[in-house]
């Protein structure tokens, strides 16, 4: 193996540079993985545009990218789960395995979590990464490299459906038809939801939502949700727009469940009388725990189509384009960085 690798590094707001760094050495429990595809996520864009997300501030050069797939090329001294050549999807956050949250199975809430592309932990917009071996999940041949990377956002969608207890017969409202809304839509149908209404202001995305299983869509730039006759028992809020979240909670029927997935507004107005009188449950989600095997099964079994989400591909020299394309082109659903592109 050559001793240098290409890396795309965020130095600050609107400042991305490609440079050469040493290939990482896998620690004793780690595998070294050659990266084959990495999805570009809204949170990567947010770091690029603002240099921070809430309390996470980019204070030193940071490698973004937390939706990677790859191939195992070497094992650390104690690693034994994978053979070289194994294709894997990388679950991009390594928890401590020791704290109370980890012990309770909620490792997504581990305060010691080291998550790719979140300061100060480098991500996967590069040629090789090292990761604890149990966070590298083998994938079947049925999954493309790009689909394997998008298991990460799919895991967010599956987690949201689990939290909302979506089950056969559920009537689900999904606000926002971005990548998370679209994987949440497909998962809801796979979990047996009989009706899934998806809202957005982008007609192209709504068309994709229908293609991927939404039973109805509403373009809220033309029609208002409040006037729709649909009475959902589950809301998966994927837009991150405070007014949309409030309006959607209002639509929930008695004992409805709202799961807030989208990020954006720090606070939302809560329709308190409705929440109280109808015993609405409102919860957030933070990443996911123990969800990769389910996500792999859904994607490999064809119940969720991840390749359909990929609209744009870029090389490692073009990460800046991958992060800005959505602001220039409304046909973008998901841009993927392919290190050996072109
Ligand atoms: Zn993401
Ligand atoms: Zn922990």
Separation of 93 CA from ligand 2 center, angstroms? 11
Considering the segment(s) 4-150+306-337 as one domain, its CATH architecture is Alpha-Beta Complex (3.90)
Instruction: List C-alpha distances in Å: 1 to 25, 74, 87, 185.
Output: 12, 10, 18, 42
pLDDT recorded at residue 342? 54
- 140 Cα–ligand 2 center, Å: 29
pLDDT of residue 265: 75
**The pair of three-digit structure tokens given for residue 4, joined into one six-digit string:** 């240098």
Q: Please give the distance, rounded to the nearest whole angstrom, from the Cα atom of residue 70 to the centre of ligand 1.
A: 17
Distance from residue 250's CA to the centre of ligand 2 (Å): 36
* 222 alpha carbon – ligand 1 mean position (Å): 29
Return the sign of the alpha-carbon dihedral for residues 26, 31, 36, 37: negative
CA 97 to ligand 1 centroid distance, Å: 22
The ligand minimizing its distance to the Cα of 67 is 1
Give which of 143, 123, 148, 110 is closest to 10, Cα–Cα: 123
Ligand nearest to the CA of 107: 2
Distance 67 CA to ligand 1 centre (A): 7
Q: How far is the CA of 321 from the centre of ligand 1 (A)?
A: 17
The closest ligand to the CA of 263 turns out to be 1
Q: Give me the residue spans of the domains in the chain.
A: 4-150+306-337, 156-284
- Ligand 2 centroid from CA 259, angstroms: 24
| Cβ partners under 8 Å of residue 272, min gap 6 | none
pLDDT per residue rounded down to tens, the chain (342 residues)? 567 999 999 999 999 999 999 999 999 999 999 999 999 999 999 999 999 988 899 999 999 999 999 999 999 999 999 999 999 999 999 999 999 999 999 999 999 999 999 999 999 999 999 999 999 999 999 999 999 999 999 999 999 999 999 999 999 999 999 999 999 999 999 999 999 999 999 999 999 999 999 999 999 999 999 999 999 999 999 999 999 999 999 999 999 999 999 987 788 999 999 999 999 999 999 999 999 999 999 999 999 999 999 999 999 999 999 999 999 998 999 999 999 875
Let me know: does 104 contact 96? Beta carbons within 8 Å.
Answer: no
Quick one: pLDDT at residue 340? 83
Taking the centre of ligand 2 as the mean of its atom positions, its distance from the CA of residue 289, in whole angstroms, is 12
**Which ligand ends up closest to the CA of 38?**
1
- Are 4-150+306-337 and 156-284 in the same CATH fold? no
For 156-284, the fitting CATH number among 3.40.50.620, 3.40.50.970, 3.40.50.11540, 3.40.50.720 is 3.40.50.720
């Amino acid at each position: 193996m050559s001793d240098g690798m290409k890396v795309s590094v965020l130095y600050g707001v609107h400042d991305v540079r490609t440079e050469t760094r040493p290939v990482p050495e896998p620690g004793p429990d780690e595998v070294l993985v050659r990266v084959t595809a990495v999805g570009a996520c809204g949170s990567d864009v947010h770091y690029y545009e603002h240099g921070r997300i809430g309390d996470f501030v980019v204070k030193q050069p940071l490698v973004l990218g937390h939706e990677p797939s790859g191939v195992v090329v070497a094992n650390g001294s104690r690693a034994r789960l994978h053979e070289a050549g194994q294709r894997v999807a990388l679950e991009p956050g390594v928890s401590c395995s020791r704290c109370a949250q980890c012990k309770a199975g909620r490792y997504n809430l581990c305060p010691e979590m080291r998550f790719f592309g979140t300061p100060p932990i480098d991500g996967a917009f590069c040629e090789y990464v090292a990761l604890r071996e149990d966070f590298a999940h083998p994938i079947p041949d049925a999954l493309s490299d790009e689909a394997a990377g998008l298991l990460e956002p799919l895991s967010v969608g599956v987690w949201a459906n689990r939290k909302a207890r979506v089950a056969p017969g559920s009537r689900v409202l999904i606000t926002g038809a971005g990548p998370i809304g679209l994987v949440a839509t497909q998962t809801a149908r796979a979990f047996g939801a009989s009706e899934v209404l998806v809202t957005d202001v982008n007609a192209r995305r709504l068309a994709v939502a229908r293609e991927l299983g939404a039973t109805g869509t509403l373009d809220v730039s033309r029609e208002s949700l409040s006037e729709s006759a649909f009475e959902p028992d589950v809301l998966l809020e994927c837009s991150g727009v405070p007014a949309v979240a409030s309006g959607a909670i209002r639509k929930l029927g008695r004992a409805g469940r709202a799961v807030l997935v989208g990020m954006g507004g720090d606070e939302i107005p809560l329709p308190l009388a409705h929440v109280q009188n109808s015993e609405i449950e409102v919860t957030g989600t933070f990443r996911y725990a123990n969800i990769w095997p389910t996500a792999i099964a859904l994607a490999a079994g064809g119940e969720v189509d991840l390749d359909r989400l990929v609209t744009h591909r870029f090389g490692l020299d073009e990460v800046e384009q991958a992060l800005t394309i959505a602001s220039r082109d409304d046909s973008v659903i998901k841009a993927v960085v392919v290190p050996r592109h072109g």
